[in-house]
């Protein structure tokens, strides 16, 4: 059950596709040279493969245990987490002034991928801490920042996000948790929160819960939600830990996967109210949470890429080892390792093509996030910000849907052994299944992509992307390699067609999102998948160009990149046309949109 960090693949994407050198030229990132990035990745890879990865199965077989309000993490997790904290990994992309290393998100993305691939359950914990750090950086008071940030950035304390209640999942307007003002300026929090990842555990000195709740006079719905910081242990003015706060973990869930990550039900205020500090202003909680959620969604997308990579490595290793059946082309009369069979190649090729494409999209998005924060020019920052925001639902929605498919193919490559738990392929299939759900289901990502990301700016960002992809299509055709390269020809043909489908879908959304919203939003997930496939194809085409250029440096590596791009062109890009037809075929009052509830 080993994991080998794909550093060479990651570096290729960072350097050739995501522009690490440009990121390294941004103010504040002067130290992020390709050499530094390489050594950071190597160190991260060691921790991931040597310390975290061997515990991944333990998380599944010996899940966190609840007893009388306390949760013990899987044996070994605390020590592995300690090594992460001691190495300063929690603060990798966080500000230097609070003890972080201030490295670009692009570098952080690769490290994140490794951590999540090595141990998806364990890696969830520091990602939630990242969210708490972001929220405090954005809206915390100076006192809050001073009190909480250094110990969150160091990893000494962990963070959580408390949104969901039994009646309020995607629909935060329904949430009921209450926050009563206290004379000392703090609040008392009451209510039940569910699905709180790492909501209680024994790996950190303190847990900083970020909790959405309503003040007594708040407006109804999403406009009356405020954000509170509720520490598990109160923090004295000298920074020492005080009394236990009135928040209790009353149970943890029995889940299909991600079992090493305890999913808590937290009860606030049963003994008079949990002390909570308001973050920012009252009734602006959802706004802050949305900013946090952008990062959280990005991180979940990385989870998808990571678990897919892990599933691929396992399936690939099995395919090279398992001997079964003669080649269909009759080239050998003995049974051969199954990696020689065309369908196994198809499956491994599809897994790999999806992983490489979604990784490239995610890393390119991370580079946009870096530019959006650090570029000296405000309009450039805005432009990069818009591109990043457009890509986040793709990174979240497409990469996680992809991960379920890839993990399922991973099981299939193993044949009957894939269904046996001891083999380990099944864990990835079970673990991956939560990813298209939490932090906003794929439908929510699709709605976001239509409403806030495509329609609100009149399709400006979407059309800009269509234009950039069109330029790559032209570059393929204009390339000297074109006439002799089946890969170039296939990519040119299928990317051009898929990009046209993208353009047509954008036009459909612009025309229909307001006038026929049911039809438009029925196409939300297909639209998200279409855009994911096309953006992935765009990056695979850029990878193809880069590998063609670099071929002589490493023929085996770049030859594989070209083959994978070719596979992407013929096996993935054609889906764009099918999705376009589906999206454009919707009308309100037709098909299943016309059915009464009883007819289902």
In this complex, which beta carbon is closest to a copy of itself, that of residue 44 or of residue 406? 406
Q: How far is the CB of 423 from a copy of itself (least distance, A)?
A: 9
Q: Give, as ranges, the residues between 377 and 396 that touch a copy of itself (CB under 8 A).
A: none
**Which stretch in 183-191, 364-372, 379-387, 424-432 sits in contact with a copy of itself by CB under 8 A?**
424-432
Q: How far is the CB of 218 from a copy of itself (least distance, A)?
A: 18
In this complex, which beta carbon is closest to a copy of itself, that of residue 174 or of residue 241? 174
CA distance 564 to 549: 16
Q: Is 552 in the site for a copy of itself (CB under 8 A)?
A: no
Among positions 26, 137, 218, 443, the unique one binding a copy of itself when judged by CB under 8 A = 443
* Residues 468-487, mask of contacts with a copy of itself (x by CB under 8 A): ------------------xx
**Which stretch in 77-85, 299-307, 455-463, 581-589 sits in contact with a copy of itself by CB under 8 A?**
581-589
Q: Give, as ranges, the residues between 297 and 316 that touch a copy of itself (CB under 8 A).
A: 316
Q: Does the active-site annotation cover 43?
A: no
Q: Give, as ranges, the residues between 145 and 174 that touch a copy of itself (CB under 8 A).
A: 164, 167-171, 173-174
Under 8 Å between Cβ of 156 and 85: yes
Q: How far is the CB of 409 from a copy of itself (least distance, A)?
A: 10
Nearest to 421 by CA among 19, 44, 27, 60: 60
**What φ, ψ does residue 181 adopt, rounded to 5°?**
-70, 140
Among positions 208, 348, 543, 545, the unique one binding a copy of itself when judged by CB under 8 A = 348
Among positions 33, 39, 146, 335, the unique one binding a copy of itself when judged by CB under 8 A = 335
In this complex, which beta carbon is closest to a copy of itself, that of residue 275 or of residue 355? 355
Q: How far is the CB of 324 from a copy of itself (least distance, A)?
A: 4
Cβ neighbours for 540, distance < 8 A, ≥ 6 positions apart = 353, 356, 357, 360, 491, 564, 565, 568, 569
Q: How far is the CB of 430 from a copy of itself (least distance, A)?
A: 7
Nearest to 564 by CA among 12, 21, 20: 12
Q: How far, CA to CA in Å, does 19 sit from each of 15, 351, 468, 571, 591?
A: 5, 25, 16, 27, 46
In this complex, which beta carbon is closest to a copy of itself, that of residue 252 or of residue 274? 252
Q: Which two tokens stand for residue 255?
A: 């889940």
Q: Is 257 in the site for a copy of itself (CB under 8 A)?
A: yes
Among positions 145, 345, 381, 463, the unique one binding a copy of itself when judged by CB under 8 A = 345
Q: Which two tokens stand for residue 273?
A: 């109210």
Q: How far is the CB of 540 from a copy of itself (least distance, A)?
A: 12
Instruction: Give the helix/strand (H/E) hosting 196.
Output: strand 187-197
Cross-strand partners of 208: 159, 231
Among positions 267, 358, 442, 504, the unique one binding a copy of itself when judged by CB under 8 A = 442
Q: How far, CA to CA in Å, does 426 sit from each of 227, 354, 412, 419, 542?
A: 38, 19, 10, 6, 34
The string of DSSP codes covering 296-328 is HHHHHHHHHHHHHHHHHHHHHHHHTT-B-S--T
Q: Is 275 in the site for a copy of itself (CB under 8 A)?
A: no
Q: Give, as ranges, the residues between 352 and 381 that touch a copy of itself (CB under 8 A).
A: 352
Q: Is 242 in the site for a copy of itself (CB under 8 A)?
A: no
Q: How far is the CB of 380 from a copy of itself (least distance, A)?
A: 34
Q: Is 254 in the site for a copy of itself (CB under 8 A)?
A: yes
Q: Is 447 in the site for a copy of itself (CB under 8 A)?
A: yes
Nearest to 523 by CA among 423, 427, 450: 450
CA distance 579 to 401: 15
Q: Which two tokens stand for residue 368?
A: 């946009």
Question: How many other C-beta atoms can be found within 10 angstroms of the C-beta atom of residue 419?
Answer: 13
Q: Give, as ranges, the residues between 191 and 210 that touch a copy of itself (CB under 8 A).
A: 195
Nearest to 272 by CA among 167, 163, 162, 178: 178
Q: Is 325 in the site for a copy of itself (CB under 8 A)?
A: yes
Q: Is 403 in the site for a copy of itself (CB under 8 A)?
A: no
Q: How far is the CB of 173 from a copy of itself (least distance, A)?
A: 7
CA distance 504 to 500: 6
Q: How far is the CB of 280 from a copy of itself (least distance, A)?
A: 25
Q: Is 415 in the site for a copy of itself (CB under 8 A)?
A: yes
Question: How many other C-beta atoms can be found within 10 angstroms of the C-beta atom of residue 70?
Answer: 12
In this complex, which beta carbon is closest to a copy of itself, that of residue 20 or of residue 490? 490
In this complex, which beta carbon is closest to a copy of itself, that of residue 473 or of residue 490? 490
User: Which of 16, 277, 439, 580 is the catalytic position?
Assistant: 439
Q: Is 255 in the site for a copy of itself (CB under 8 A)?
A: yes
In this complex, which beta carbon is closest to a copy of itself, that of residue 256 or of residue 382? 256
Among positions 328, 332, 382, 460, the unique one binding a copy of itself when judged by CB under 8 A = 328
Strand, helix or coil at 66? strand
In this complex, which beta carbon is closest to a copy of itself, that of residue 323 or of residue 477? 323
CA distance 52 to 122: 8
Cβ neighbours for 136, distance < 8 A, ≥ 6 positions apart = 144, 145, 148, 149, 152, 229, 279
CA angle, 460 then 497 then 409, to 5°: 100
Q: How far is the CB of 360 from a copy of itself (least distance, A)?
A: 18
Q: Is 340 in the site for a copy of itself (CB under 8 A)?
A: yes
Q: Is 511 in the site for a copy of itself (CB under 8 A)?
A: no
CA distance 317 to 49: 16
CA distance 540 to 185: 54
In this complex, which beta carbon is closest to a copy of itself, that of residue 176 or of residue 244? 176
- List active site positions: 439
């Amino acid at each position: 059950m080993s994991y080998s960090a794909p550093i060479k693949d990651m570096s290729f994407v960072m350097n050739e596709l995501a522009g690490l050198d440009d990121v390294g030229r941004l103010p504040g990132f002067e130290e992020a040279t390709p050499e530094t990035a390489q050594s950071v990745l190597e160190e991260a890879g060691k921790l991931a493969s040597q310390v975290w990865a061997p515990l991944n199965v333990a998380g599944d077989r010996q899940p966190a245990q609840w007893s009388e309000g306390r949760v013990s993490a899987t044996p070994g997790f605390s020590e592995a987490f300690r090594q992460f904290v001691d190495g300063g990994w929690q603060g990798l992309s966080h500000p230097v002034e609070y003890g972080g290393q201030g490295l670009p998100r692009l570098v952080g993305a690769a490290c994140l991928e490794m951590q999540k691939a090595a141990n998806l359950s364990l890696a969830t914990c520091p990602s939630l801490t990242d969210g708490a750090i972001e929220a405090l950086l954005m809206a915390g008071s100076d006192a809050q920042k001073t009190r909480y940030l250094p110990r969150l950035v160091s990893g000494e304390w962990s963070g959580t996000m408390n949104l969901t209640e039994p009646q309020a999942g995607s629909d935060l307007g329904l949430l009921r948790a209450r926050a009563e003002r206290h004379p000392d300026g703090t609040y008392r929090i009451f209510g039940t929160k569910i699905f709180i990842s790492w909501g209680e555990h024994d790996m950190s000195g303190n847990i900083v819960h970020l909790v959405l709740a309503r003040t007594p006079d708040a407006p109804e719905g999403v406009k009356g939600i405020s954000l509170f910081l509720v520490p598990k242990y109160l923090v004295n003015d000298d920074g020492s830990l005080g009394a236990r706060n009135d928040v209790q973990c009353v149970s943890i869930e029995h889940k299909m996967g991600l079992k090493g990550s305890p999913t808590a039900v937290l009860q606030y205020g049963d003994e008079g109210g949990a002390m909570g500090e308001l973050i920012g202003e009252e009734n602006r909680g959802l706004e802050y949470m949305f900013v946090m959620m952008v990062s959280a969604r990005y991180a979940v997308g990385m989870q998808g890429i990571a678990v897919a990579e892990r599933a691929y490595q396992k399936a690939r290793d099995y395919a090279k080892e398992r001997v079964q059946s003669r080649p269909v082309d009759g080239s050998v009369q003995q049974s051969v390792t199954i990696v020689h069979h065309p369908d196994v190649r198809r499956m491994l090729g599809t897994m790999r093509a999806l992983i490489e494409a979604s990784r490239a999209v995610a890393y390119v998005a991370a580079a946009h996030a870096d530019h959006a924060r650090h570029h000296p020019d405000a309009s450039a920052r805005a432009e990069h910000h818009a591109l990043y925001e457009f890509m986040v639902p793709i990174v979240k929605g497409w990469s996680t849907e992809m991960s379920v498919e890839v993990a399922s193919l991973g099981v299939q490559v193993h044949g009957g052994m894939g269904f046996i738990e001891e083999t380990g392929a099944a864990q990835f299939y079970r673990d991956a299944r939560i990813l298209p759900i939490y932090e906003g289901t794929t439908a929510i990502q699709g709605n976001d992509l239509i409403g806030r990301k495509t329609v609100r700016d009149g399709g400006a960002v979407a059309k800009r992307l269509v234009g950039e992809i069109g330029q790559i299509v032209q570059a393929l055709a204009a390339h000297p390699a074109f006439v002799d390269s089946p890969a170039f020809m296939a990519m040119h043909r299928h990317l051009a067609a898929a990009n046209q489908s993208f353009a047509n879908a954008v036009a459909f959304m612009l025309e229909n999102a307001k006038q026929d919203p049911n039809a438009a939003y029925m196409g939300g997930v297909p639209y998200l998948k279409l855009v994911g496939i096309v953006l992935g194809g765009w990056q695979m085409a850029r990878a193809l160009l880069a590998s063609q250029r670099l071929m002589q440096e490493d023929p085996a590596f770049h030859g594989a990149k070209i083959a994978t791009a070719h596979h992407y062109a013929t096996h993935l890009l054609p889906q764009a046309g099918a999705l376009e037809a589906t999206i454009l075929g919707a009308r309100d009052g037709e098909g299943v949109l016309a059915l009464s509830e009883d007819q289902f």
